[in-house]
Amino acid sequence: MTEAPSPKPQYETATLAGGCFWCTEAVFKRLKGVISVMPGYTGGEVANPTYEQVSSGRSGHAEAIQILFDPSVISYEKLLEVFWAVHDPTTRDQQGNDVGPQYRSAIFYHSEEQHEAAIQSIEALDASGHYPDPVVTEVVRFTKFYEAEQYHRDYYDSNRSNSYCRVVIDPKIRKLFAEFKANLKDDHET
């Protein structure tokens, strides 16, 4: 007697923009249940944008990440919780010294369930008083994602001695390890 093949997991996609995609990719790839994280561009008008076009601030795109995740291991709501913890959702078109619409805080939802979860998460964050200013994160229907150039992928892990990585990304990774230890993959150290 042969066993029936087990069903394939039903993965979901989340698309988030929280400033520089080097930072967000480095954070989210360390979470249990995250299958892959791809840096790229979304939310703009230019088809197949280049990094130079996006970084000029004139393409309309945000630097973003697209996360493939297993919702039986990590929920969309938990991804949002991490998202709020590792960037400042109260500054419009800016994260630290990175300034311009390409660094805006945005959630690009893929379903009505994600839309509702994003709105509820923002309302809860605002009500918590965690930030003195209101959340300005855009919640926008996902349309198209363009993968970033190869040299942007795994940037942090490939360039950890880079001063940007040490000054900007390392503190986000330390915060992730301090606040979300139970959600980390076993194979990732700082």
Q: What's the pLDDT tens digit per position in 62-119?
A: 999 999 999 999 999 999 999 999 999 999 998 888 898 999 999 999 999 999 999 9
Under the banding of pLDDT at 50, 70 and 90, the label for residue 171 is very high
Model-level pTM?
0.91
Delimit the domains of the chain by residue range: 12-183
Q: What is the per-residue pLDDT for 1?
A: 56
Q: What is the per-residue pLDDT for 118?
A: 98
Q: Catalytic residue numbers?
A: 20
Could you read off the pLDDT of 19-37 as tens digits, one per residue? Answer: 999 999 999 999 999 999 9
Options 3.30.1360.20, 3.40.50.720, 3.30.1060.10, 3.30.70.2740; CATH for 12-183 is 3.30.1060.10
The stretch 39-57 carries a mean pLDDT of: 94
**C-alpha torsion sign, points 68, 71, 77, 79:** negative
- Looking at the DSSP assignment, which residues form a beta bridge with residue 39? 65
| Distance (Å, whole) CA 13 – CA 146 | 14
pLDDT, mean over the chain: 92
More confident site: 5 or 60:
60
Could you read off the pLDDT of 114-143 as tens digits, one per residue? Answer: 999 999 999 999 999 999 999 999 999 999
More confident site: 98 or 14:
14
